[in-house]
Amino acid sequence: MLKRLKTVARVTICIVLLAPAVVGNYRFARHFLLHLNHPADPFSDISKQMSPVARPAVLLAGGHGRDEAMYGRFARAVGVSDGRRAIPNTNESLIDISYVTKANPNPQPWDVLLGRDVNYLSYGYAGTDDRYHQITYYWGESDSTPSPLVRKVRSNQTGAGKYFVRYVVYLSKDLKDRPASIEAGGRVLQWQPPRYPNIDRIDWSAYEGGGYNGFDELAFSIYATAAEGVTLFMLILWRGRR
């Protein structure tokens, strides 16, 4: 009888200790695994990731990126006070949105998969390192995100619209030819033309779409809490037998 009471007490202790874990795991899944509204402002870290600017080159928008409020927020985030008047919307160095979406290995918004007009904003500039740098922000409704909790789907499986996914893609490329072969005296024997752009960094976040049901983070919370509960119970049981 005493042994049974001890077991009940241990189970009760586990339940009491694990109750906050359910909420904690749920919040962890939302913020760090699904990136739901995290960060709340997708432009918040752009200035920290930019290389030093020598000369602005281009500022271009597509889809809902042309919206005045969105355009203004992005322009301020990249350090441009009056983008529409001060910076042209075309430049020979511009990396087209079609290249950016193909180079990004993560799940794409419906607009990209279905060949529709993409919502995006791109800012390109010459850096003090003599390279062209570009920041492209694009977003749209999607059935998948880069999160390990979300089942990846192909283009012919889209339609639920569980999420809106947002990407900030940082790219760069050489502005001029670089020496490929130099002789001992310093004379350049062969020049290397600029190569394909580099994808330097990709940041992403998401927010709830029309078909969102919270199941992904709820399932993670249940499984994670159950695993923690088994571990905690075994630990209490082991310590009780010492």
What does 139-196 look like in DSSP terms, one character per residue? EEEES--S-TTSPP--GGG-----EEEEEEEEEEEESS-EEEEE-TTS-EEEEE---S
Least confident stretch, 76-85, 144-153, 171-180: 171-180
Do 82 and 115 lie in one domain? The reply is: yes
In the predicted model, is pLDDT for residue 184 greater than 70? no
Give the pair of three-digit tokens for residue 163.
């999420």
In angstroms, what CA-CA distances link 195 with 3, 137, 178, 200, 222? 73, 23, 10, 14, 48
The answer to whether the CB of 123 falls within 8 A of the CB of 62 is: no
Do 175 and 120 lie in one domain? The reply is: yes
Give the pair of three-digit tokens for residue 225.
């809490």
The gap from C-alpha 86 to its chain's centroid, in whole angstroms, comes to 29
pLDDT at 176: 74
Do 68 and 161 lie in one domain? The reply is: yes
Do 65 and 165 lie in one domain? The reply is: yes
Structure confidence by residue, pLDDT tens digits, 189-211: 455 556 779 999 999 999 887 67
Do 14 and 98 lie in one domain? The reply is: no
Backbone angles phi, psi at 218, to 5 degrees: -65, -45
Do 164 and 221 lie in one domain? The reply is: no
In the predicted model, is pLDDT for residue 159 greater than 90? no
Structure confidence by residue, pLDDT tens digits, 31-41: 778 888 888 89
pLDDT at 219: 65
Do 97 and 109 lie in one domain? The reply is: yes
Give the pair of three-digit tokens for residue 61.
């928008």
pLDDT at 134: 98
Averaged over 153-165, what is the pLDDT?
A: 76
**Cα angle at 89 between 86 and 94, to 5 degrees?**
120
Residues in the chain: 242
What average pLDDT does the chain have? 81
Do 236 and 165 lie in one domain? The reply is: no
Q: Which domain holds residue 199?
A: 37-211
The domain tally of the chain equals 2
Do 204 and 219 lie in one domain? The reply is: no
Through-space distance between the first and last CA atoms of the chain, rounded to whole angstroms? 20
Higher local confidence (pLDDT), 75 or 186: 75
Do 168 and 242 lie in one domain? The reply is: no
pTM: 0.81
Do 99 and 57 lie in one domain? The reply is: yes
Structure confidence by residue, pLDDT tens digits, 93-144: 999 999 999 999 999 999 998 899 999 999 999 999 989 999 999 999 998 8
pLDDT at 77: 95
Do 90 and 207 lie in one domain? The reply is: yes
Q: Hey, how many other C-beta atoms are within 10 angstroms of the C-beta on 131?
A: 19
